[in-house]
């Protein structure tokens, strides 16, 4: 078993690639009561076109298949839902689908290995029929309707449609009622048999484990055989330009909410460095301790801190800023002016060192939560990133790196704005 150690935070990561191609990652955390395990599949909502084997034909599946399949994995041939079995054991089980991967998980303080039996059984034994797929369709249709009525989701999806021409990130992960109507058992089995294969999967576990003992327990429960499947994912070329600058929508909402997006090129040479640079920049420019936040708060333009995040996957990258305000356009202008101010003035050594130290402390603190650790390691794995490299990068990142990102990413021609206002507001 390969062991990767980070001396700065005194943590170890044990990695084993099994003979069937499945990767196991174990992060032991002694004396913690909570245990967390997640089984990820490198298949997400954007993977709707691909070529199987040596065929020259492109297979295209309906939008929402990854999410639909995630729902159906819990149903077993016995008629017993695996989620109910896990819940009866006292563990908190769940699953979720992202744009780039799907994962199944549970966390617990007791009955870990009893739950592992059920967990590893249902992920390796799909059971799809026309009857149970039809039954699930109504549930997912309700979920889609709920998303359509959720202001935060509308805000985000409208922004993705402004930023991306062809990338399927501009399509809701759950798909549409029309697209999921085309999903049947043949579609789900095609995806499972070609993507739910060991070499396309990773299991990440974190908690008070003895790594070799857990590894042996996982290996004993593995039934998946190596597939050596050849899959070529097909994505339309995405222009650097955005689609449009602004979108507004009226909904039942107590206060207007806005989101600003800056489109970036996917996967630059050092995504860890860029990710950290943007975290530091966000804190300096619009964070809770920033001068901008204090000014906007004192003027009554915002009552809660602005949020920001850098999202990226194999085909997309963007930086988002979100907030609530009765005067969203004015706040958006203030944010623009503040960004331009920092471009012109630069970043002080004092701000840089203060925020870098603060963020490092937060990273170390997060490494005491098994859920945060395992979920982060899983996401990083599918982005070909070693999670420990974030800690190493803190020593290497320079103020000049922040300025490079500030001047290359925060461009007006790459910016789009999504706003959701209450029904009593006039939309211009």
> In the predicted model, what is the mean pLDDT of residues 60-69?
96
Helix (H, G, I), strand (E, B) or coil at 204: strand
* pLDDT tens by residue, 148-158: 889 999 999 99
> What pLDDT is attached to residue 229?
79
Q: How many C-beta atoms surround the C-beta of residue 254 within 10 A?
A: 8
Residue 42 pLDDT more than 90? yes
* Integer CA distances (angstroms), 67 to 9, 63, 130, 177, in order: 36, 9, 17, 13
Banded model confidence at residue 7, pLDDT cuts 50, 70, 90: confident
Report, as an integer, the average pLDDT of 249-264: 94
Q: Does position 426 have pLDDT exceeding 70, yes or no?
A: no
Which three-class secondary structure state does DSSP give residue 18? Answer: coil
* Token pair of 135 as six digits: 């039954």
Tell me how far CA of residue 214 lies from CA of 28, 112, 115, 326, in angstroms. 10, 10, 13, 53
Residue 209, by phi and psi: left (phi above 0), alpha (psi -120 to 50) or beta?
Answer: beta
CB 347 within 8 A of CB 284: yes
Residue 155's alpha-carbon distances to 167, 257, 341, 397, 412, in angstroms, are 18, 8, 27, 33, 20
Closest CA to 260 of 336, 325, 314: 336
- pLDDT surpasses 90 at 34: yes
Least confident among 110-114, 147-151, 222-226: 147-151
What does pTM read for this prediction? Answer: 0.93
Confidence band for 427, pLDDT divided at 50, 70 and 90:
very low
Q: State the pLDDT confidence band at 146, using cuts at 50, 70 and 90.
A: confident
Query: Quick one: average pLDDT of 211-219?
Result: 96
Taking CA atoms, 361 is separated from 53, 137, 320, 354, in Å, by 47, 45, 23, 11
301 burial (CB, 10 Å; 0-12 / 13-18 / 19+) is: middle
- Are the beta carbons of 241 and 415 closer than 8 angstroms? no
CATH fit for domain 2-233, picks 3.20.20.120, 3.30.420.40, 2.40.110.10, 3.30.830.10: 3.30.830.10
The token pair that represents 232 in the structure block: 């070529």
CB of 16 within 8 A of CB of 24?
yes
- Is residue 268 predicted with pLDDT exceeding 80? no
Find the length of the chain.
Answer: 428
Cβ(192)–Cβ(126) below 8 Å: yes
Percent of the chain at pLDDT above 70? 99
Write out the residue limits of the CATH 3.30.830.10 domain(s) in the chain.
Answer: 2-233, 246-422
The structure tokens listed for 350 are 């004092």
Task: Tell how far CA 384 is from the center of its chain.
Answer: 14
Alpha-carbon gap, residue 318 to 338, rounded angstroms: 19
Confidence of residue 147 (pLDDT cuts 50, 70, 90): confident
- Report residue 55's pLDDT band, with 50, 70 and 90 as the boundaries: confident
Cβ–Cβ under 8 Å, residues 191 and 61: yes
CA–CA gap between residue 420 and residue 245 (Å, rounded)? 15
pLDDT surpasses 70 at 424: no
User: Measured between alpha carbons, how far is 177 from 203 in angstroms, rounded to an integer?
Assistant: 32
Q: What is the CATH code for 246-422?
A: 3.30.830.10
Q: Mean pLDDT, to the nearest integer, of 204-232?
A: 93
Contact 339, 178 (CB under 8 A): no
Long-range contacts of 354-361 (CB under 8 A, 24+ apart): 355/280, 355/283, 355/284, 355/287, 355/289, 356/280, 356/394, 356/397, 358/283, 359/276, 359/279, 359/280, 359/283, 359/394, 360/391, 360/394
For residue 425, the model assigns a pLDDT of 43
Q: CA–CA distance from 84 to each of 74, 124, 140 (Å)?
A: 9, 17, 19
């Amino acid at each position: 078993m390969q062991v990767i150690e980070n001396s700065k935070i005194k943590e170890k990561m044990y990695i084993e690639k099994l003979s069937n191609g499945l990767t196991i990652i174990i992060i032991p955390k002694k004396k913690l009561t909570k245990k967390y395990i997640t089984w990820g599949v490198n298949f997400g909502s954007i993977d709707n076109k691909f070529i199987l084997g040596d065929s020259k034909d492109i297979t295209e599946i309906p939008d929402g298949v990854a999410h639909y399949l995630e729902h159906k994995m819990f149903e077993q041939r016995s008629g017993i839902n695996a989620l109910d079995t896990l819940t009866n054991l006292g563990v908190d089980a769940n699953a979720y689908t992202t744009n780039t991967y799907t994962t199944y998980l549970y966390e617990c303080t007791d009955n870990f290995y009893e739950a592992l039996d059920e967990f590893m059984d249902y992920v390796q034994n799909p059971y799809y029929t026309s009857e149970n797929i039809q039954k699930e369709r109504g549930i997912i249709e309700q979920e889609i309707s709920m998303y359509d009525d959720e202001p935060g989701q509308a805000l985000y999806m409208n922004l993705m449609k402004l930023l991306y021409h062809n990338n399927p990130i501009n399509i809701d992960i759950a798909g549409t009622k029309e697209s999921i109507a085309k999903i049947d058992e043949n579609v789900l089995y095609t995806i499972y048999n070609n993507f739910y294969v060991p070499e396309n999967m990773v299991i990440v576990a974190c908690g008070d484990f003895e790594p070799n003992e857990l590894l042996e327990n996982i290996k004993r429960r593995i039934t998946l055989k190596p597939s050596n499947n050849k899959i070529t994912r097909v994505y339309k070329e995405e222009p650097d330009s955005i689609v449009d600058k602004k979108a507004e929508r009226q909904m039942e909402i107590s206060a207007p909410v806005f989101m600003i997006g800056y489109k970036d090129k996917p996967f630059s040479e050092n995504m860890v460095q860029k990710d950290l640079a943007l975290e530091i920049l966000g804190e300096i420019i619009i964070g809770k301790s920033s001068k901008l936040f204090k000014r906007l708060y004192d003027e009554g333009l915002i009552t809660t801190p602005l949020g920001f995040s850098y999202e990226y996957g194999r085909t997309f990258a963007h930086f988002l800023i979100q907030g609530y305000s009765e005067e969203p356009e004015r706040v958006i202008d203030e944010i623009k002016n503040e960004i331009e101010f920092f471009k012109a003035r630069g970043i002080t050594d004092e701000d840089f060192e203060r925020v870098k130290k603060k963020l490092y402390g937060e990273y170390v603190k997060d490494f005491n939560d098994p859920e945060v650790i395992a979920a982060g390691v899983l996401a990083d794995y599918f982005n070909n990133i070693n999670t420990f490299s974030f800690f190493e990068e803190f020593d290497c990142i320079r103020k000049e790196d922040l300025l490079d990102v500030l001047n290359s990413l925060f461009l007006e021609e790459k910016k789009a704005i999504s706003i959701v206002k209450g029904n009593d507001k006039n939309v211009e």
